[in-house]
Amino acid sequence: MTLKRGVTLYALQDAYGRGGLGLEGCLDLVKNMGAQGIELLSDQMLEDAQDATDDAIAEANALFDASGLTRVSNDIFINSCLYRNRWLTIEEQAESLRKDLRLAHRLGFPLVRLVSRTNPAVVPLALPLAEQLGVTMAVEVHAGMSFDHPETAAWIDQMKELDNPHVGLVVDFGIYCQRYPEIATDYFRAQGLSEDVVAYIADIYASGSDGRRAFPRARHVQDRDVYEFPEDLRRLFKSPVDEVYAANASGYENTSLDTLDEYLPWITSFHAKFWQMVPDGKGGYEEASINYPAIIERLTRLGYDGYLCSEYEGQRFIVPGNPIPDVEQLTQHQKMLETLINGK
């Protein structure tokens, strides 16, 4: 049983686009970091995506083959809001998923990662094709939507009912946050965030809780991710920035690592989320918001055999006008994973 290092190319979107690396440059970069696996974002990195020509597929496969990296997953998005006046029907969404399954098969990916809000109803409709092609469908248990979130719970209930090896989970480490990411706090500070609000939220995490548990869901509101703030917190709000900062605390969950024991049989891979790598005081780097040593120790003890794919999301908190250090941050994250996995 082995923990393997991978990279989701979500982590290199800026380098891919504005940095001019393109797909080949990104693959070379990941290979040179010593990673073993790769996740693709076909919607961004493959022309015509689902409807790619045979020549485009052949070119992409040649790049993957030359890199020597293992194809882990194609991270897809069922774009159910294509039209201004309506959502796609369930059958239309299922057909979109079928096209993505065919694309994954053409590219040699054994897994499609479904975005966290995918409607579970599409899965039984696409399952016969997934079985035929040998491609697994796995929804992402994403930050803000941990295992107990109503929509995630509905997916899990169906997954257990189907009891099929082609249906599973991709777990995002963002659900194992032990503090609000400092880079996000600094981003809001630049917009006038109140330090009283920072301290209030920090105390929630210090107590072992998080925003989703500390703030009750708003009543009589259809959106299940709208939360009510305690009156003592509301009194601290001095601007809309403070309320947005507090609301975002619901997206950095402090989920128990015991969930790994419970759900590991269904977990196909992990998104090793990070927002900011900082010096650890020992000559290396750490992600201060997530206890990576504890996660790696737990997965090793459980005998997990699969990929931890680095996923950088700190780019969203870079103050406009400043460079996005995605390559530097990814390099440091991969070095941290290597140290934790191999004990170097």
CA dist 226 and 188 (Å) reads 20
Over residues 229-254, the mean pLDDT reads: 94
- Please, which pLDDT band fits residue 222 given cuts at 50, 70 and 90? low
Please give the pLDDT value at position 80. 81
Please give the pLDDT value at position 338. 96
Over residues 64-77, the mean pLDDT reads: 97
CA dist 322 and 5 (Å) reads 29
Mean pLDDT over the full length of the chain: 94
CA dist 331 and 154 (Å) reads 36
What tens digit of pLDDT does each residue of 294-305 get? 999 999 999 999
Residue 225 has pLDDT above 80, yes or no: no
Cβ atoms within 10 A of the Cβ of 265, count?
Answer: 8
Please give the pLDDT value at position 81. 81
CA neighbor of 196 nearest in space, from 250, 232, 228, 244: 232
Over residues 166-180, the mean pLDDT reads: 97
Rg of the chain, C-alpha, whole Å:
20
Mark 114-148 as b/e (b = at least 16 C-beta within 10 Å).
bebebbbebbeebbebbeebebbbbbbbbbbbbbe
CA neighbor of 216 nearest in space, from 202, 200, 233: 233
What tens digit of pLDDT does each residue of 191-214 get? 999 999 999 999 999 999 998 889
Please give the pLDDT value at position 164. 98
CA dist 254 and 262 (Å) reads 16
